[in-house]
């Protein structure tokens, strides 16, 4: 079992929809959780960073961590074609980031 599981997609939704991207993790000791966005063949860009449980909001993006179920989510409201990218979740363990495989998101105009 991988330490961080993420459905690779692709996930295709119409413009304006609310997008839900999810990851599960196996180790309850993980405390820090991150979401990165990667446009094709570009460097990943840090979107959201959360510590422990709860929600964090930044504009159209909301990151949610549920430690009881070891589940992390990223919600995108009012999705735009420019949001089309691969979204990677990650957690911090012993000076390394443990990465999900990334979910490819396609927003259809």
Partner 1 sequence: DSGVTQTPKHLITATGQRVTLRCSPRSGDLSVYWYQQSLDQGLQFLIQYYNGEERAKGNILERFSAQQFPDLHSELNLSSLELGDSALYFCASSTRAGANEQFFGPGTRLTVL
14, 59, 95, 109: which one binds partner 1 (CB under 8 A): 95
- How far is residue 48's CA from residue 46's CA, in Å, rounded to a whole number? 6
Region binding partner 1 by CB under 8 A among candidate stretches 15-23, 57-65, 71-79, 94-102: 94-102
Q: Is residue 21 within 8 Å of residue 105, measured between CB atoms?
A: yes
Q: Please give the structure tokens belonging to residue 6.
A: 């993420």
Number of residues binding to partner 1, judged by CB under 8 A: 21
Based on the shown chain and the rule CB under 8 A, indicate whether residue 48 belongs to the binding site for partner 1: no
Inter-CA distances, 30 with 15, 54, 71, 97, 109, Å: 34, 14, 11, 11, 37
Based on the shown chain and the rule CB under 8 A, indicate whether residue 76 belongs to the binding site for partner 1: no
With respect to partner 1, which residue has the nearer C-beta, 75 or 92?
Answer: 92
Q: Is residue 87 within 8 Å of residue 73, measured between CB atoms?
A: no
88, 89, 105, 107: which one binds partner 1 (CB under 8 A): 88
Based on the shown chain and the rule CB under 8 A, indicate whether residue 101 belongs to the binding site for partner 1: yes
Based on the shown chain and the rule CB under 8 A, indicate whether residue 99 belongs to the binding site for partner 1: yes
Q: Please give the structure tokens belonging to residue 75.
A: 């919600």
């Amino acid at each position: 079992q991988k330490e961080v599981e993420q459905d690779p997609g692709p996930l295709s939704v119409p413009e304006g929809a609310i997008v839900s991207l999810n990851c599960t993790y196996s180790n309850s000791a993980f405390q820090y959780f991150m979401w990165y966005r990667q446009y094709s063949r570009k460097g990943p860009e840090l979107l959201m960073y959360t510590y422990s449980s709860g929600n964090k909001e930044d504009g159209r993006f909301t990151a949610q961590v549920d430690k009881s179920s070891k589940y992390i989510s990223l919600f995108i409201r009012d999705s735009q074609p420019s949001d089309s990218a691969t979204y990677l979740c990650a957690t911090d363990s012993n000076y390394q980031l443990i990465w999900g495989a990334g979910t490819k998101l396609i927003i259809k105009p």
